[in-house]
Amino acid sequence: MKNKQTTFIRSMLIFSAVISTALLVACGESSPEKSKSAISPKANTLDSIQLMDTKPSDAISVKAAREQLEPGAEATVFGQIGGVDQPFLEGYAGFVLADTDIVFCDEMGEDHCPTPWDACCEDADKLKKSRASVQFVDAEGRILHESMKGFSGLSGLSHVVVQGTVASSSTPENLIIEARSLYSVQK
């Protein structure tokens, strides 16, 4: 008798779990409009990025930012897009910013590298300590959903200044800047 009760209780628990899961999944699928409306079209375009007309005089290097800035701090940082093979985030507004003291392949006097922005000839440890992640965010702090490659003429090796805040998820090994403003240095 006890085995029948135990089997019945287990069956009921499994049945309840299956029904609960089905209801949760069904509820999630029945309201796709809610998730779409939570992200406004304006918030997901690069139009919300403030393009600065003049280069900020208080900008610090990527290396200095990594040494001095803590999560939550205001950041005005200059550098060069690169330091990795693919410096732009795919489908998101962001890029890797490298310190300008990095020697990029195009600065070596030889045209031997198809991706000079990756700084593959630079010392790997120096390179790790000379990069920051930049992501452009909307007013609510959500990363914009559009690639920045080509935006305002940006490409690998572009010199830029970004303004924003150091992300709360930043660590000494990975500086993340949640940017709102951009100045592109035209050479």
Q: What is the pLDDT of residue 123?
A: 87
Query: In one letter, which amino acid is 57?
Result: S
Kindly report the pTM of this predicted structure.
Answer: 0.74
CA pair distance 110, 121, nearest whole angstrom: 12
53: tokens are 């007309």
**pLDDT per residue over 50-66, tens digit each?**
999 999 999 999 999 99
Q: What is the pLDDT of residue 62?
A: 97
CA pair distance 100, 85, nearest whole angstrom: 17
- Give buried/exposed letters for 86-123 (b at 16+ CB in 10 A, else e): ebbbeeebbbbbbbeebebbbeeeeeeeebbbbbebbe
Q: Residue 40 pLDDT > 90, yes or no? A: no
Confidence category of residue 16, pLDDT binned at 50, 70, 90: very low
* Sequence spans of domains, the chain: 2-37, 42-185
The CATH class of the 42-185 domain is mainly beta
Beta strands 60-61 and 74-81 are parallel
**pLDDT per residue over 113-136, tens digit each?**
788 888 888 888 999 999 999 999
Mean pLDDT, the chain, integer: 79
Overall average pLDDT of the 17-44 stretch? 36
Q: What is the pLDDT of residue 35?
A: 33
